[in-house]
Structure 1
Amino acid sequence: MRLALFQPGIPQNLGAAIRLSACLGAGLDVIEPCSFPLDDKSLKRAALDYGPLAHMVRHSSWEAFLAAPERDEGRLLLFTTQATAPFHKFTFRARDTLLFGNESRGAPPEVHAAAFARLRIPLRPEARSMNLATTAAMALGEALRQTDGFPA
């Protein structure tokens, strides 16, 4: 199971995703460019001491991400407020990659087009969206539950 962040815009969300990846053993793909400097200092600050436990791969572009060997391993599932399929009714597989768009811009049409499925987390009608890190944790938790993928 992998998480992928498309051009993340908030360093704290990346830090939370690094910790989530490290704690649950999921790979993490960061698709650049980010909206903040992605250097060793900012990564260390965002990830605290979890960085060495995370399995993070940086991709210089969307095209580089699609060409990466990990992309041959499973389906690409885009989480988006534009989807109609609720994530908790979807059947996940162990090699899926859960993809999340930029916090303010979402994902462009080419990212939507590349996804095997587009999923959403149902929200109350008056709510617009949830925090990216919270959404990623909910999605990864459900996917790991379904595939018996939680650490022993």
Structure 2
Amino acid sequence: MLHVVMIEPEIPHNAGAAGRLALATGARLHLVKPLGFSLEDKHVRRTGLDYWKDVDLRVWDSFDELRIAADAGARFWFLSTKAQRSHWDAEFRDGDYLVFGCESRGLPEGLIHEAGEQAVRIPMKEGGTRSLNLSTAVGIVLYEAVRQVGGV
């Protein structure tokens, strides 16, 4: 099973869309507080449609709490526009955690620096756009990981 982690997501429809992606791929969705919305928000439910109730969802008070609870040997991949390495160069394995930051700030630079080779980015045309929508980024990286792992 792959894991999608959203640290402090701010926009409910991104969490809803990530939930649908997780359900479609058999991944688990982890949301790390604080959330910029209520999980009862109609936008989360609307984007997740009638699937939201079936999403394998875990909500954490902190990222450290999630890390402590993760299986021994679990690998965390940190997605950031500030990373140097492409997600295409990552060798994903079953059980990996794909970690995304919030919409307005991304991941803290300390996490990206600490991650080293485990920090990856989605390649984009230079001068094209600063970043992608969070749920779009989740879909791109999650499906690459699923392809490599041989899932779905």
Using the alignment, how far apart are the partners of 1:40 and 1:12 within structure 2?
A: 9
Match of 1:13 in 2: 14
Residues 12 and 41 of structure 2 are in contact (CA less than 8 Å); yes or no, is this contact kept in structure 1? no
Matched ranges for 1:39-118 at <5 A: 39=40, 43-68=44-69, 70-72=70-72, 74-112=74-112, 115=115, 117-118=118-119
TM-score, with length taken from structure 2: 0.89
Distance (whole Å) between structure 2 residues aligned to residue 145 and residue 92 of structure 1: 9
Amino acid corresponding to residue 125 of structure 2 in structure 1: R
Distance (Å, rounded) in 2 between the aligned partners of 1:29 and 1:72: 17
Which of 124, 146, 149 aligns to 2:148? It is 146
Distance in structure 2 (CA, Å) of the matches to 1:28 and 1:35: 16
Runs of 4+ in 1 over 6 A off after TM superposition: none
2: CA distance, partners of 1:99 / 1:66? 11
Residue-pair matches, total: 149
What is the RMSD of the two structures over their aligned residues, measured on CA atoms?
1.8
In structure 2, the gaps of 5 or more residues are none
Change beyond 3 A, Cα 1:10–1:128: same
Q: Distance in 2 between matches of 1:12 and 1:73?
A: 32
Q: Is the 8 A contact 1:32 1:59 kept in 2?
A: yes
The TM-score normalised by the length of structure 1 is: 0.89
Q: Which residue matches 1:121?
A: 122
1:78-116 Cα offsets, whole Å, 9 max, x none, are 010000101112111111100000111111244335546
Separation of aligned partners in 1, 2:137 and 2:41: 26
